[in-house]
């Protein structure tokens, strides 16, 4: 599976999903880019990690899903590698696709770790 990562704001190929990043300098030469993901047809914010220590980057796949990499700064926690299905608003670890959860549950779990 070829994945093209972008460090700037992104819109899905179908125009449905927008990923924006809030950049925060944690120390010299160390930046955290926290994602906010919005469904453009409804304006609903699906995942909002702005103002947190969660660093993330995403890539859109040809099937309309995304790969989302997340790590909590300062990097002492394991990286999360998720496959996100925007149509069904679910996410699952790439290595454990049966551990699917709603994006709302993911948001709560990540915020409770902060």
What string of H, E and C letters represents the secondary structure of the chain? Answer: CCCCCECCCEECCCCCEEEEEEEEEEECCEEEEEEEEEECCCCEEEEECCCCCEEEEEEECCCCCEEEEEEECCCCCCCEEEEEECCCCEEEECCCCCCCEEHHHHHHHHHHHC
pLDDT of residue 26: 79
- Structural domain that includes position 30: 10-113
Flag whether 22 is in a domain: yes
> Domain for residue 50, yes or no?
yes
In a domain, residue 4? The reply is no
CA–CA distance, 20 with 41 (Å, rounded to integer): 16
CA distance 66 to 77: 22
**Cα–Cα distance measured from residue 84 to residue 110, given in angstroms and rounded to the nearest whole number:** 15
Q: How confident is the model at residue 4 (pLDDT cuts 50, 70, 90)?
A: low
Q: What total number of domains does the chain contain?
A: 1
In a domain, 62, yes or no: yes
pLDDT per residue as tens digits for the range 6-55: 667 889 999 999 999 998 887 888 888 999 999 999 999 999 999 999 99
Answer whether residue 80 is part of any domain.
Answer: yes
Is residue 1 scored above 60 in pLDDT? no
Q: Within a domain: residue 48?
A: yes
Q: Is residue 18 part of a domain?
A: yes
Domain contains 51: yes
């Amino acid at each position: 599976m070829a994945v093209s990562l972008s460090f700037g704001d992104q819109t899905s190929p179908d125009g449905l999903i927008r990923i924006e990043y809030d950049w925060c300098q944690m120390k010299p030469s160390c930046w955290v880019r926290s994602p906010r993901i919005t469904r453009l047809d409804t304006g609903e914010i699906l995942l909002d990690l702005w103002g947190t220590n969660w660093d993330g980057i995403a890539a859109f796949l040809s099937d309309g899903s995304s790969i989302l990499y997340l790590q909590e700064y300062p990097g002492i926690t394991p990286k999360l590698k998720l496959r996100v299905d925007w149509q069904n608003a679910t996410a699952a670890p790439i290595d454990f696709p049966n551990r699917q959860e709603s994006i709302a549950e993911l948001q709560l779990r990540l915020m409770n770790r902060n």
